[in-house]
Structure 1
């Protein structure tokens, strides 16, 4: 489970805001092990600037940072961004704080101290928030994010066309040969024709974005995915 979680988290970027140096450094060490990119901030203003600069997929922020309030930071972000996932950490268990936090569409509310188990549970909730039909492992190093239409590995990111993303999702979810007829119905609309040349060009471009030898042609039938 831990290895699967690491593989999935490695496609994402996280921003961690915490005013206590020791806590920030310790938790950041853990986050660096899991995430593609990690950013840290000492206060709410610094966090907002780094959010604007880096557009992280996940923000983990303390509620109280000196005289600044993490909830105000989240409200500011939510004015224009409803998609970035947010986890709150706090020493407070006050019901009012929790109700305010709930209204801001958070993934998790972690009560300090932040233990490894609490953090892992929150990160699992973050992955689950994309739902099981959005993120797929192609192999140990490669991930497909259907919601963003991208394939990533340790070194590269490939943007998929709408047709490529739909085709790849079919290959993954059905886990069998996708026939030429299914391909025509799925990725060629009624205004276009799946000519042999169009098919060859589509497959040629599609293969360049996949792990080597992962797309197998079943002669006369269609294609299937070979996952490492």
Structure 2
């Protein structure tokens, strides 16, 4: 299965009455996203929205026939929940703040910086995909398909194996990695050191080994968080840790935050 580039699979409606700005943004976006639909004013924007059903709308605020805010309100009233990116002069900020009930996703100040616009598009699309479809997007643009997920799970397993050897002196006999949406579960089995095994044979030292290992992992978790985060180009934090020496397994849960 091929990687899915999110920007090549989205449809954007861009509403702007000023021809120079409209053409500038069109030239920048036309080869970077799947489909770009242009509209010259609010009425035209509503018509094109209904016709093309875009994934996201970028709109100016101040337009002669109908403001971008009013256009958005009319679209929202018809039950559509498409995300909106507002572009406007700094002097229009008060108007935008009065419309928080319309749930504007992002607000960009004119003149538009095309790089900032691209980053904003990625951010809004990623948030929407992950929230509504339980997907994970890696490296800012690629939806994690089954094949890609398997590949990254293997890479995480290798990273974690090296991490275990470094911080405890021994790897695990078996490591399983499972990515579910924005959660990464790592299960390691039979990774006690020879010294720890001997302690268990000598008596009931399960709790002591558990406390020792939790302390080691708490003091070194930033390392594995950073390594996995760099791998998928996302922020990763450890949310849960289970250390079970008696059952000879450990489980950690990492959350992908942004």
What TM-score results when the alignment is normalised by the length of structure 2?
A: 0.50
Measured after TM superposition, the shift of residue 124 of structure 1 is 2.6
**Matching residue of 2:135:** 134
Between Structure 1 and Structure 2, the one with more helix by share is 2
Distance 1:108 1:174, change over 3 A: same
**Matching residue of 1:72:** 70
| Structure 1 residues not aligned, in runs of 5+ | 145-150, 152-167, 177-228
Distance 1:136 1:92, change over 3 A: closer
Distance 1:130 1:23, change over 3 A: same
Question: 1:144-183 alignment to 2 at 5 Å?
Answer: 168=146, 175=153
Supply the distance in 2 between the matched residues of 1:172 and 1:42 (Cα, whole angstroms): 45
| Structure 2 residues not aligned, in runs of 5+ | 155-258
* Larger Cα-atom Rg: 2
* 8 Å CA contact retained: 2:61, 2:69: yes
What TM-score results when the alignment is normalised by the length of structure 1?
A: 0.56
Give deviations 1:62-118, integer Å, cap 9, x for gaps.
001123211010001111334311101011434431213432112211110001232
Supply the distance in 1 between the matched residues of 2:54 and 2:118 (Cα, whole angstroms): 18
Question: 1:62-141 alignment to 2 at 5 Å?
Answer: 62-130=60-128, 132=130, 133-134=134-135, 136=137
Cα RMSD (Å) of the superposition? 3.1
Deviating 4+ runs (over 3 angstroms)? 92-95, 168-176
Supply the distance in 1 between the matched residues of 2:137 and 2:108 (Cα, whole angstroms): 27
* 8 Å CA contact retained: 1:60, 1:89: yes
Measured after TM superposition, the shift of residue 122 of structure 1 is 1.6
Distance 1:172 1:46, change over 3 A: farther
Measured after TM superposition, the shift of residue 52 of structure 1 is 0.4
Distance 1:42 1:135, change over 3 A: farther
**How many residues are matched?**
147
**Matching residue of 2:210:** none
* 8 Å CA contact retained: 2:15, 2:59: yes
